[in-house]
Amino acid sequence: MDNSKHTEFAGLKNIVVFDSFWTPFMDRIRTKVIPYQWEALNDRIPGAEPSYCMRNFKLAAELTHSELDYGVPRDTGHGGCVFQDSDFAKWIEAASYSLLWHPDPALEKTLDDAVDIVCNAQQDDGYLNTYYIINGLDKRFTNLKDNHELYCFGHLLEGAAAYYEATGKRKFLDALIRYAECIDRLIGPEDGKLHGYPGHEIAEMALVRLYEITKNEKHLKQAKYFIDQRGQKPLFFEEEERRNNNNFYWKESFFRYQYYQAGKPVRDQHIAEGHAVRAVYLYSGMADIARLTGDEVLKRACDDLWNNIVNRQMYITGSIGQSAYGESFSYDYDLPNDTVYAETCAAIGLAFFAKRMASIAPKGTYGDVMEKALFNGIISGMSLDGKSFFYVNPLEANPEASLKDHGKRHVKIERQKWFGCACCPPNLARIIASLGSYIHSLNDNAVYTHLFIGSEAKLRISGADISLKIKTKYPWEEQIDISFMMSVKTKFKYYFRIPGWCRKHSIRLNGIEQRCAVEDSYALIDREWSAGDRISLVFDMPVNFVQSNPHVRKNIGKIAVMRGPVVYCAEEEDNGRELFRLYAGNPDDIIVRHDKDLLEGVTTISFTGKWEKDWAGDTLYQTAGTVLEDKKIVLIPYYTWANRRAGEMTVWINKMVK
C-alpha cells in the first residue's frame, strides 16, 4: 500500500469551529442535548421511560464494593437494554468533545463524578459491564453474538479516550485498559481462550484509537485479532450457540450470520450486508487496520465495501440500511423511500468509515459522502430545537401509511423524545460535537481540506506551525475563503476537495485566478505559503435535478432536487397533500431564496411544476389520459422536514418523460 497518501485528521484540540451553519447545531448539542441526556441517563426526565443507565453503574458498584452506597436497592435488577452502558459511553464521549471547544468546569465536574461511579463498578480483574455484574458474572462472555458485551466495551473505550483527550485525566482510560487486558486474557487466538469477536462491532476502531494514544502494540494486536478472526470457520457464533444453547434470531433470514458480518472472513466480504450500523463500524475498524498494517487485501475489501455502499446501496441523503428487518442492508439498487430504515446511527457510521478511508488516501468520494451524510441523513435525525429525534429517516412520509400500514409502522412522521433503546440521540451528539475533527487531515508535507466548515485550525506541517482559517456561508452560499497564518514561510501541498456535486468552480489565490491540478477530486496548490495568503473558492450552486441510476426500481421516472450538498424535499405544509402527484418539468422560473426566519434559516427552492388533476367521477380505473395542471412547488432542505406540522414529505418527485 502506498502510505505516502496516509494522513491523520486534525483533532479537536487543534481546531475551533465558528460556522454559520454548524455552530448552532453544536450549540444545541452542548446546551440542550448533552444536559438533557445526562438527566435521562439518571432517570430524571418526568414522564419519560427510565434509562436505568447510571443506576445500573451505581448498583454494580454497590454489589462490587460493599462499602459503596449510592442508594440503589440491592434487589433491583439491571434496567434497560443489555447494552445500556453504551448510552453513558456515548454521552461522555460527546460531552468530552464539547469540553474541547467550550471549556465548562461544571460539566467537567459532572464528568469526573460520573467516571468515579463507572469506575467503581469495575471488577478486580478489570471486567466492567453492568448487565453481567448485576445478573451474574458466571454468564459473561457466553453470548458475544447478541449480548453486546464487547460493544459496550468499545463504546466505553471511545468515551474514555475522548475524556482523556479533553481533560488529560487517565483514570477512565486506565480502567478501560485494564478491561481490555481482562478481555485479552479470555478472548484471543491462544488455546484455552475463546476465539471470539464482537457481535456488534466498534471495539475494533476503539482499540485502534487506544493504540494511537498509547502506541502500545498490544491494543493494535487485539483490534486486529477481532478483524482477522471474524467469520473464520468454524464460525465462532455457531459454536457459541451450540455450547451455550443461545438463540439464533436470524436463522430464517437470507443474511443469517452476515447479519453480524460474521458469515465469512472479512477479507472475503465485498458487498455490504446485514445490520447497517454494525457493518459500517466493522468497515471503519477494517480501514483502520488496513492503514496501520498496510494490509492490501484488507484494503481491497474496504474499497469494495465502500463502492458497494456508495454506488449501490446509499440513499441520496447519505443514509444507509434500507430494511427495517434487521435494520439492515438489503441488496443492490434496492432503495425504497417509504419502507426505508436509514437509521441516523448508520449514516453516522458511514461518516466514520469515510473518514478512515480518507485517512488511507484522500479521494473525493469520501469527503462527498461525509458531507452528504452530514448535511442530510445525519442531521435530519434531530429536531431543530434539539429536543426530539428520528431513528428512521424516510425519503417519503405519509401519516396515514405510518398509522395503517404495518410495513411502515417504524417510519415515524414526528421525531420522538428519547428512547428506551437510545442509540441515535447520543450518537448524533458525539459526531456533531466532534465535527471539527472531520475538516482537515495532514501528513508531513500536505494538508487536505475535506469539509468546508467555518473554523480555525492550528496545524503542524513541514515542521512549522500554521493557522488555517475558513470563512463561508456554505452550504447556502457559493463562496469559501481560506486564509493562512504562519510565522515563517513554509512549503507544503495544500489540497482541497472539489465537491462531486460541483460542475463549475473558480479558485483564486490572493485574488488571482488559478488553474489547479485536481487529483482524486482534490485541487492542489503546492507552494511556499506566507502569512496572509488567502484562497477564494466559488463552487457554483445551481439548482440540480438529480436522478437515480436506472437500476433503482423505486426512483425510476423521478428526480430529486439538490443545491450544493443539500438535498431538498417537498412537505405537505408548503405543497398540500398527495405529493406523489407532483411533477417537475424543466422549469424556467426557479427561485432560490434564503429565508432567515424559516426553520432556523434555510434556503428554499420554488418553481412551477405540474400536478395530476383530479378525475371527474369516482372510479378507480379509467382509460389513460393524464391531465396535468401548473402547480407551484416549494422545497425545503430535507434535514428540516417534520419541524412544522406533521404531514406528508417526499424527496423524489415525478419527472416528465417525453
**Closest listed residue to residue 499, CA positions, set 371, 352, 317, 378:** 371
3 state SS of 652: coil
Q: Does 400 bind a second copy (CB under 8 A)?
A: yes
Of 113 and 578, the one with the shorter C-beta distance to a second copy is: 578
CA 88 distance to own-chain centroid: 18
Of 55 and 275, the one with the shorter C-beta distance to a second copy is: 275
Q: Residue 338 Cβ, how far from a second copy at the closest point, in Å?
A: 9
Q: What separation in angstroms does the CA of 328 have from each of 264, 274, 342, 539, 600?
A: 17, 5, 9, 35, 33
Q: Does 243 bind a second copy (CB under 8 A)?
A: no
Q: Give me the torsion for CA of 425, 426, 427, 428, rounded to 10°.
A: 60
Q: Which of 460, 557, 593, 595 binds a second copy (CB under 8 A)?
A: 557
Distance (Å, rounded) from C-alpha 443 to C-alpha 464? Answer: 12
**Segment 401 to 420, residues that bind a second copy, using CB under 8 A:** 401, 403-407
Q: Judged by CB under 8 A, how many residues of this single chain contact a second copy?
A: 62
> In which residue are the cell numbers 460539566 written?
107
> In which residue are the cell numbers 439548482 written?
543
Q: Does 254 bind a second copy (CB under 8 A)?
A: yes
Residue 238 designated active-site: no
Contacts of 477 (CB under 8 A, 6+ apart): 541
Residue 423 designated active-site: yes
Q: Which of 324, 378, 428, 541 binds a second copy (CB under 8 A)?
A: 324
Distance (Å, rounded) from C-alpha 160 to C-alpha 150? Answer: 15
Distance (Å, rounded) from C-alpha 358 to C-alpha 58? Answer: 40
Of 233 and 406, the one with the shorter C-beta distance to a second copy is: 406
Of 109 and 551, the one with the shorter C-beta distance to a second copy is: 551
Of 154 and 336, the one with the shorter C-beta distance to a second copy is: 336
Q: Does 151 bind a second copy (CB under 8 A)?
A: no
Q: Does 635 bind a second copy (CB under 8 A)?
A: no
Choices 280-288, 291-299, 317-325, 480-488 (CB under 8 A): range interacting with a second copy: 317-325
Q: Residue 547 Cβ, how far from a second copy at the closest point, in Å?
A: 4
Q: Which of 247, 487, 510, 549 binds a second copy (CB under 8 A)?
A: 549
Choices 1-9, 507-515, 590-598, 650-658 (CB under 8 A): range interacting with a second copy: 650-658
CB atoms within 10 A of CB 640: 22
**Closest listed residue to residue 297, CA positions, set 262, 265, 271, 329:** 265
Of 458 and 581, the one with the shorter C-beta distance to a second copy is: 581
3 state SS of 569: strand
Choices 158-166, 234-242, 473-481, 611-619 (CB under 8 A): range interacting with a second copy: 611-619
Q: Residue 303 Cβ, how far from a second copy at the closest point, in Å?
A: 13
Q: Which of 509, 556, 592, 599 binds a second copy (CB under 8 A)?
A: 556
Q: Does 249 bind a second copy (CB under 8 A)?
A: no
Q: Residue 80 Cβ, how far from a second copy at the closest point, in Å?
A: 22
Q: Does 614 bind a second copy (CB under 8 A)?
A: yes
**Segment 561 to 590, residues that bind a second copy, using CB under 8 A:** 578, 580-581, 583
Distance (Å, rounded) from C-alpha 189 to C-alpha 182? Answer: 15
Q: Which residues pair with 465 in a beta bridge?
A: 460
**Segment 288 to 307, residues that bind a second copy, using CB under 8 A:** 307
Q: Does 248 bind a second copy (CB under 8 A)?
A: no
**Closest listed residue to residue 92, CA positions, set 181, 160, 178:** 160
Q: Does 334 bind a second copy (CB under 8 A)?
A: yes
Asked, as a colleague might, if the bond just before 475 is cis with ω within 30 of 0, I would say: yes
Among the options 53, 152, 423, 516, which is catalytic?
423
Distance (Å, rounded) from C-alpha 365 to C-alpha 371? Answer: 10
* Whether 303 contacts 283, CB under 8 Å: no
Q: Is the Cα dihedral 443, 448, 453, 457 positive or negative?
A: positive
Q: Which DSSP state fits 31?
A: I
Distance (Å, rounded) from C-alpha 261 to C-alpha 393? Answer: 23
Of 176 and 314, the one with the shorter C-beta distance to a second copy is: 314
Q: Does 66 bind a second copy (CB under 8 A)?
A: no
Q: Does 217 bind a second copy (CB under 8 A)?
A: no
Contacts of 246 (CB under 8 A, 6+ apart): 142, 143, 145, 146, 240
Among the options 327, 343, 572, 648, which is catalytic?
327
> In which residue are the cell numbers 389513460 written?
624
Distance (Å, rounded) from C-alpha 281 to C-alpha 487? Answer: 41
Q: Does 216 bind a second copy (CB under 8 A)?
A: no
**Closest listed residue to residue 352, CA positions, set 421, 282, 290, 413:** 282
Q: Does 325 bind a second copy (CB under 8 A)?
A: yes
Choices 233-241, 424-432, 625-633, 639-647 (CB under 8 A): range interacting with a second copy: 625-633
Q: Does 540 bind a second copy (CB under 8 A)?
A: no
CA 655 distance to own-chain centroid: 31
Q: Which of 136, 215, 251, 621 binds a second copy (CB under 8 A)?
A: 621
Residue ranges binding a second copy (CB under 8 A): 253-254, 307, 310-312, 314, 316, 323-326, 330-331, 334, 339, 398, 400-401, 403-407, 503, 544-553, 556-557, 559-560, 578, 580-581, 583, 612-615, 618-626, 628, 654-658
Residue positions annotated with a catalytic role: 327, 423
